[in-house]
Structure 1
Amino acid sequence: MNKMIARLLMVAFCSALVPAAAHADEPSEIRFATEAGYPPFEFLDPSGELQGFDIDIGNEICKRLQAKCVWIDQSFDSLIPGLQARKFDLANSTMTATEARARVIDFSEPMYIVPVRLAARKGSGLEPTAESLKGKRVGVQQGTTMETYARQNWANNGVTIVAYPSYTDAFNDLAGGRVDATFQEAQNAIEGFLSKPAGADFELTGSTVDDSPILNEPIAMGIRKGNKKLKKTIDEVLREMKADGTMQTFADKYFQKENIRIAP
């Protein structure tokens, strides 16, 4: 498949795993938006095909609903405006269901929770605190909860926060010494940087930030405000996938055990 086409659109026609009558108001097509630069959640494989944990979840939803999956790749910070503009039906891109976001969009049933860690040069000893990071430059992705947390807790205490369109750019600057650390979900740092040759001299450092609501809310799919029929249908399928072990099976495929927890 042409790589450019794959970045814009991937269509999956899937057979049903459950009878069509099992879900109310089933859509015939579901348009998912994602930012395909965040492995292992969503990424392009060497052939340009869209892959990842969130992609498997979305494709499974379409399979169970006998719906056509349409995948649209765009920047993370454009997902909420795109939902509001009706450019797609669901934002499925490791989006934390924060209170602030819930004021402008709705969210699906919670899917999973992932820990957030710093990545830095080996032996740096950096911790995710203003005291430890004072005088340092920390890379985050624009529009993420990590950016929000860093600006609220570190930016006014001598820490320079550098926001990037994607973590790929942040990791490049970490390798090049232009930032001292990056702040992201742990498994993304492992898959996107630490497991690659450029990340050989770097590691996850410091403790997991577990005392902040904004970083410990579950990941969910974003839905346009008022789209109650779609929300009801998606919630039903997600609950099924958690109950029958499908969600955990997908998690085991992509994550180290300590780096994800399926939401209850």
Structure 2
Amino acid sequence: MNTTGLLATLAFCAASTLAHADDSTLRIGIEAAYPPFSFKTPEGEISGFDYDIGNALCDEMKIKCQWVVLAFDGMIPSLKVRKVDAILSSMSITPDRLKSVDFTKKYYHTPGKLAMKDDVVINDPLLDLKGKKVGVQRASTYDRFATEQLAPAGVEVVRYSSQSEASLDLASGRLDATLADIVNTDEAFIKTPAGKGFALVGPDINDPSYFGRGAGIALRKGDTANAVRLNAAIDTLRTNGKYQQIMGKYFAYDIYGSTAE
């Protein structure tokens, strides 16, 4: 074989190996600061419902999960520039996000809820929160809802890089309320020592035009191959009992939502 032929063969082998590596590894973005869905253990390991579901999906697809910890507001930009192949971090499937990324089907669906002092009564957030400070996570669906609905009603919206930071400011009295996913607020704040004296208040906040149809796995536009195999894996976990097993590790109730969604 001449030098040209050898180089061509080596190039082909390298390309084949790279393609195989791409097919056998899925780089997944996760926040790791949104318990009980994603968090770091005292040893610095990633844990949580999102993490366990992702690993179970990769096992089902017989591929390797490569987890990449990212700030929530940097996830979609990182996906677009190919730093990750997917986002599995409690990201809601909303009409606004669907303009820039694709999603799998949902893997859970829970409403939003206000957390405030446990003696506060909220009947209509647009009226009863006027003049109050409400904390939300920056770039979340709750940020958009608060910006477009609460702020025009006279609410001061305070944005944080993580939900845990907002909860800390609520506990310290720097906020009147936080607005976030009901499960995260209940499990990661209300039921902890820091949440003593606080409660989930007011109506569920679940407007589909803001909060979509649940949390899904975000993918780059046109990534049909990963969408197909991830959707199939989600269906398999739901039917073989692995989904319910993982859910039971973190929750005493069903967070999947309606099967009709």
TM range (shorter): 0.7 to 0.9
1:172 aligns with 2:168: yes
Query: For each residue in 1:39-93, what CA deviation from the matched residue of structure 2 results, as whole angstroms up to 9, or x when unmatched?
Result: 1111111221111111111000111222121111111111100000000111000
Instruction: Report the CA distance between 1:110 and its aligned residue.
Output: 1.7
* Partner residue in 1 for 2:219: 223
Pairs within 5 Å for 1:235-254: 235-254=231-250
Instruction: Report the CA distance between 1:111 and its aligned residue.
Output: 1.3
Query: For each residue in 1:12-61, what CA deviation from the matched residue of structure 2 results, as whole angstroms up to 9, or x when unmatched?
Result: xxxxxxxxxxxxxx931111101011011111112211111111110001
Instruction: Report the CA distance between 1:251 and its aligned residue.
Output: 2.0
Instruction: Report the CA distance between 1:261 and its aligned residue.
Output: 2.0
* Partner residue in 2 for 1:192: 188
1:95 aligns with 2:91: yes
Aligned-partner residue type, residue 211 of structure 2: L
The alignment partner of 1:117 has SS state of strand
The alignment partner of 1:98 has SS state of coil
Q: Extract structure 1 runs of 4+ deviating beyond 3 A.
A: 210-213
Comparing 204-213 and 58-67, the one that deviates more:
204-213
Structure 2: how far apart are the matches of 1:236 and 1:91? 17
Structure 1: how far apart are the matches of 2:256 and 2:57? 20
The alignment partner of 1:213 has SS state of helix
Query: For each residue in 1:187-207, what CA deviation from the matched residue of structure 2 results, as whole angstroms up to 9, or x when unmatched?
Result: 111222112211111111112
Aligned-partner residue type, residue 243 of structure 1: T
Unaligned residue ranges in structure 1 (runs of 5+): 1-25
* Partner residue in 1 for 2:17: none
Aligned-partner residue type, residue 141 of structure 2: T
Instruction: Report the CA distance between 1:126 and its aligned residue.
Output: 2.9
Structure 2: how far apart are the matches of 1:165 and 1:179? 15
Structure 1: how far apart are the matches of 2:255 and 2:107? 14
Structure 2: how far apart are the matches of 1:191 and 1:251? 14
- Aligned 8 A contact 2:247 2:254 in 1: no
Q: Identify the structure with the greater helix proportion.
A: 2
Query: For each residue in 1:154-211, what CA deviation from the matched residue of structure 2 results, as whole angstroms up to 9, or x when unmatched?
Result: 1011101111000111011101111100001111112221122111111111121244
Pairs within 5 Å for 1:53-202: 53-127=49-123, 129-202=125-198
- Aligned 8 A contact 1:39 1:52 in 2: yes
Structure 1: how far apart are the matches of 2:233 and 2:172? 44
Number of aligned residue pairs: give it: 240
Q: 1:52 aligns with which of 45, 48, 52?
A: 48
Unaligned residue ranges in structure 2 (runs of 5+): 1-21
- Aligned 8 A contact 2:88 2:216 in 1: yes
Structure 1: how far apart are the matches of 2:205 and 2:134? 15
Structure 2-normalised TM-score?
A: 0.86
- Aligned 8 A contact 2:93 2:212 in 1: no
Structure 2: how far apart are the matches of 1:118 and 1:256? 21
Structure 1: how far apart are the matches of 2:231 and 2:254? 26
Aligned-partner residue type, residue 185 of structure 2: A
Instruction: Report the CA distance between 1:139 and its aligned residue.
Output: 0.4
Q: 2:209 aligns with which of 196, 199, 213?
A: 213
The two structures, once aligned, show a CA RMSD in angstroms of: 1.9
The alignment partner of 1:110 has SS state of strand
Structure 1-normalised TM-score?
A: 0.85
- Aligned 8 A contact 2:101 2:218 in 1: yes
The alignment partner of 1:162 has SS state of strand
